[in-house]
Every structure is written in structure tokens, then in C-alpha cells.
Structure 1
């Protein structure tokens, strides 16, 4: 698994625009599920939801007051089973509404459309966490807080046990938060909110949010980002 992650990270780095060293208050990895259970409507929900949340006035305000620097850094990648990964947005500093708007445009334009996963279409949350850790290690600057932001509609069913990857991330000081999509996925018998709470999230102030409906996804993500950026307690 380590060799696979190293090779994949090299591929991602080669395909991404070079990042400039930027010190930020918070660095966030958006790790977005594109496994076989993600249909076109769910893919649109994730893509548009992230784009809308990034440019929300309260998120921009949280960035400005969330630390001494008034900047965050984000990267957005899509994942499924081990080896299935694609970077949509490489590490990008967000210090203004203009920065956020530019990032949102890329996510809307290049994010997954859910038209069909061709290979390695299982759900490996452990793979997403491990790759997020490598991306943090290669972030070309300093971040006071580092957050892995998982968006998924299923449980870990491939790759390493998620407990191993979770523990490694927590030992490195990362916080893992999650958004459990409001979809009933075939073959997933567990309550996803409970599953994520018990098996996936962790670190300082970790939490999971569950949108009440598909239409609530962008609002839930917006509220989640404000908490993450502001380093506040979870506000339901």
C-alpha cells in the first residue's frame, strides 16, 4: 500500500500546477467519493455543494477572522477503491472572495459528473485518508491546523481497515471530519452517521454532519467549513 500511495502521489504531483509556499491558518483536504454508488445526481450534489460553500459570505468571513493570517489552503481530490484517484484542484491558497470564486469555478468545471466509474469502483475510505496524509506532508508551506474532509455515501469496503489509516492520521495531528450523504446506498445496512462517528472521524473537535436532504448538502457543508476554519465547537 505504501508503494502504491507513493506512485499515485507522484502522478498527482505531475498533473497538478506547481504550488507556491504559503503559510495559512488551516489546510483542508476535500476527499470526495466517486465510487460506483455515486450517480449523476449525487455527483452534482457534491461538486456544486463544495463550490457553493466555498464562496458563501460566512465562509469568506470565517477565513478572514479564523486566524492570524486570514488565509486557508485547500485541495480537492476524488477517490474510490485503492488506486482510483484524481486531483481536481491542487493545493490552492484562499485568502479572498476572488480566490474562492476561482477555486469554485474549477471544481464546478472539472469535478466528477457521476457518469460511471470504470475501474476500482469500491469505497476505500482508508485509501482516501492515507492519500490525504501524503498531501499534507507535501504541502509547500505551514498550516496551523490540518483537516481531512471526507464526503461519502458508503462504508469502507476495500483496502486497509479504516481504523489503521485513521490512527496514523491522528498520530500526525490531523483532524478527520466527515459529511454523510443523505442517500440510501444499496448494500450499506449501517447508519452512516453512526458509522463515521465511530470509525472515521477523529482529532481535535472532530465531527460528522448529515444533511437532512439532498438540498441541504451545500448548507451543511457551508456550516461545516465555518466550524473548521474558525476552529469552533460543533454547532448543530
Structure 2
């Protein structure tokens, strides 16, 4: 397959993710794929197609593929992918209170998926969602650097602005330790129900290639849907 962008959607399902956050990730990704704006961004690409895979991760060695690599070229493709995420992704109802947060493993696993992407993509992107800092496995900055050296971009979205007792600024932690590559950014929803908007805007930037002109700066993308 040939696509404008291959995107790994990597959702945190560690023990610190509560029911509301689990559902926010599942619904947010599904609704973003269904949105007219994301569908238009896909159609407006040079190829007019992207590929996505949706995985869930927690501690080292713990991943689950919800949606395998899927080519999205029209509205029907996007709707089918969204339905798969809604039906199969974690909704938090069976949380058992185990599983640490290995952002480093999430990045390594996502990089492996991009290494073995079954086609050609102009851009390869990891889109990681989490509410915490790395507390399992290798240092996250080491994993980030290895992934970025392959030419991949890592973008992030934080589910909470701070993690009590660990960091008072989770977005800044992501900016310094997790994201990387050309125009990497952290999406920061201003309120919990801005998460769908954050995912939608994030996907539009990734699909459209905004900023992919060799500039390696990293940014915050603060999302407030009140206006």
C-alpha cells in the first residue's frame, strides 16, 4: 500500500487509567476518524490515503492490537476503522488494577510496527496517549531517540495536566522526554471533554504534514473547544 502517512495510535491502558480516561481515549479516536475534517484531510493528501493501526499498551511486554494496519482512503474506510475501535478498544469496565506505565516500551513497540509497515508512507508517525510518566522498562528518552533516528515522528496527547506526586506539568514532561522528530507536538486538552477535539486536530496536523519541512522544533497544542 502507498499512503501519505502511516500512523500508530498508541493508547495507555495501565492501572492509572480510570474508566473515564479509558472511554475518553476510545471515543476520542473513533469520533476523530469519523469527523468530516479528518476525512477531508485524508482526501486532500497527495495520495489521498493514510494507514492507521490502534494498539493498547501498559507495562513492558504488554500490548494488544485493536486495529491492525488499515488503509483509509474514503469516508467508508474511516467509519469502519472507527467502528472497530469503538467495539474492540478498552472501555475501562474491566480494570483490574495492574500494569505499570512503560512509555519506553510503547515507543519501541510502535517503532517496530512502523519498521514493518506493509507499504510506503511519506511520513511515519507515533501518536501516543497517556496520563503518566515512564515508570517501567528502559528510560523513555533513550527509546525516543532510537525511534526518532529512524526518521519517525512521535507526537503525544496528555490525559491529565499533572500526575499527583510525580509531576506537576505532564505536558512539559512529554515535551522534554517523549515527543521527537520534525515538528513534534504535545496536544493538551484544556478540559476532559476537549479530548475529542484534541485528537481531531492532532490527526489533521499529522495527515496534512503541517510543519514537516525539516524544522525540528517541538510545540504545545493547547486545545480548548469553548470557542
TM-score by length of 2: 0.90
1:204 to 182, 193, 216: 182
Give runs of aligned pairs for residues 117-196 of structure 1, distance below 5 A.
117-118=95-96, 121-182=99-160, 184-196=162-174
Q: Which residue of 1 aligns with 2:225?
A: none
Contact 1:148 1:175 (8 Å CA) reproduced: yes
2:28 to 49, 56, 65: 49
1:19 matched residue in structure 2: none
CA–CA distance in structure 2, aligned partners of residues 164 and 211 of structure 1: 27
Aligned partner of residue 90 in structure 1, secondary structure: strand
- Aligned pair count reads 214
State the SS of the aligned residue for 1:92. strand
- Could you tell me which runs of 5 or more consecutive residues in structure 2 were left unpaired when the two chains were aligned: 212-218, 223-227
**SS of 1:150 mapped into structure 2:** strand
Residue of structure 2 equivalent to 1:115:
93
CA contact (8 A) 1:170 1:203 kept: yes
Q: Residue 215 of structure 2 aligns with which residue?
A: none
| Distance in 2, Cα, partners of 1:87 & 1:145 | 21
1:27 has 2:6 as partner = yes
Shift of 1:116: 4.3
How far has the Cα of 1:128 moved from its partner?
0.5
Residue 96 (1) aligns with residue 59 (2): no
RMSD after superposition: 1.5
Unmatched 5+ stretches in structure 1: 1-21
Cα offset, 1:42, TM superposition: 0.8
The C-alpha deviation readout for 1:56-82, integer Å capped at 9, x for no partner, is 11111111112x210000000000000
TM normalised by structure 1 equals: 0.87
Query: Which has the larger share of strand?
Result: 2
Instruction: Report how far residue 138 of structure 1 moved.
Output: 1.3
8 A contact 1:82–1:127 mirrored in 2? yes
1:12 counterpart residue number: none
Match of 1:60 among 24, 35, 39: 39
Q: Which runs of 4+ in 1 moved over 2 A?
A: 115-120, 182-190, 233-236
For the residues of structure 2 that align with 1:101 and 1:187, how far apart are their CA atoms?
A: 40
